[in-house]
Structure 1
Amino acid sequence: MTYRGRFAPSPTGLLHAGSLVAAVGSWLCARHAGGQWLVRMEDIDPPREVPGSAAAILAALPGFGLVPDAAVMHQSSRLAAYASAFEQLRRADLVFPCWCSRSDLASAGGIHRDGRCMARSDPQRAPAWRIRMAEETISFIDELQGPQQQRLRDGVGDFVIRRVEGFYSYQLACVVDDAWQGITQVVRGSDLLDSTPRQIWLQRCLGLPTPRYLHLPLVLDAEGRKLSKSERAQELDPRNPMPGLRRALRFLGLSPSETAVHPSELLDAALAHFEPHRLTQCSDHRAA
């Protein structure tokens, strides 16, 4: 199967140092494998979306030499596919409506494990929908972080796949779209390492293929906190891309060319000496 990788930002702010590392890392892995690199805009959570940020991220990427091999896919155009996957799970009796509040779950550490709603149903309120979790242990090999394992009922319980407002969860949309786009390897930040067992479980429930996974280290600020778009930390200027691009390559453990004058030249020079297994593994790195 032809290699297909992807960069999948959420439109919650401008492109910053952490998201550039994920974009560059996924681009390098795709090009190293002689495959395709796609971009997917994960815009299915309107309350968190910052107006204009999706367009700004997509406009910034070419300035850093990162041009996808196909048209950008927007998850907001794929709601029918998520509804179809949800109905497949419901027909298989793998999901259930839930009216539990956070206070209802407080005694269980915020994790729902009963396989059924613990609160009284309320016809006046729309429920969330949770996937009924089995006593299943998911194990997989992350191609950078090594062997991983999670007992799903203990670790995450019956997690939500459709929210009260009707929005489909990241977990469901991600697995549906990875399969639809033919993604063969997911390269992303290690903040999503904990999501991978849930996604593998959903893939099994829906009969979808499981790609390989490689989770990159996170870029942290000076206080050791994850750089987030909401903090507007280290926003990048695509009009002056070389400093940010060189920082991203150094962060990934590469030695960027000091003579390259264009982003594409810098990326090509890095690719010539790139080996995925030599990427920086540690997930605790401060932004330079």
Structure 2
Amino acid sequence: MKRLIIIGVTASILLMGCGSGNNDGVKESQEKVQAALAKQDYATAYETLRAVYDRGELGPEGIDMLIEIEEEYINQSYNKGLAAFEEKDFNSSVEHLSVVVKYSDDEEIAEVLAQAKYLEKEQENFNVYLITFKEMLDESNILLKRFNRLLDDLATGDISTDLFAKHIQEIIPQSNMIINSLDHHVYDVDPELLALHKEMISLINNQHELFIISLDMKSDNRATLMRELRREYVAIKQEQANRIVAMKIFAGERTLTMNVDLDETLRDIEADKPSELPE
């Protein structure tokens, strides 16, 4: 066990000629430091003892202890900061490495801290965009599922061409809302994500065009158009899956964490995608 834990913190160490009126505060600090050291919580131990020092209530032995705890605090922060960086927990890494840089002029650690801060910000932006990305894909897939069912019903004669068109006319405004939302995000999306976002816009526009084209379901071209619509439907479903894969690749290349689960969305997409294109 470390010496600083063995010797503990006594009132005689903390006090430096203070009156009895300060005894309660000193005792509280003593207990807090002892509890922190028992848990190897050097941050709390240091901050508590430093506050006593700043009040001028720390004796010579207490100052020696403060120096020793400060060293442990820095070492612990160093180890935690690097471990957090390796685990891609950049928020925690920044917190701990900032302590090291505050008390040290180590240029290498300063560089790691700068990188952690950059990645922390990039991760935050990525997290925000992932939520939008998933919402847009999920909403898009809901419309595609409905569209596919309508094609099935039309092919089997369960609905008429007019009723099919009526349902599609209900889908189109919802599709427009997705497009408008994506267009809006162009102005606040992180520049690093802009290329992926534009590809998402292209995908949703193609989907919207699919709905528009399907309105032209005349009797003399219905069979041909339905085959074309099926092919385009499958292509869009495949592109949805491609967008998820591209997002995962983007995260991997930039050491980012996928904090939004897209696997369920991918399974949902794959579930409605025919294994073969219609002839």
TM-score, structure 2 as length reference: 0.22
Question: Which protein is richer in helix relative to its size?
Answer: 2
TM-score, structure 1 as length reference: 0.22
Largest Rg, 1 or 2: 2
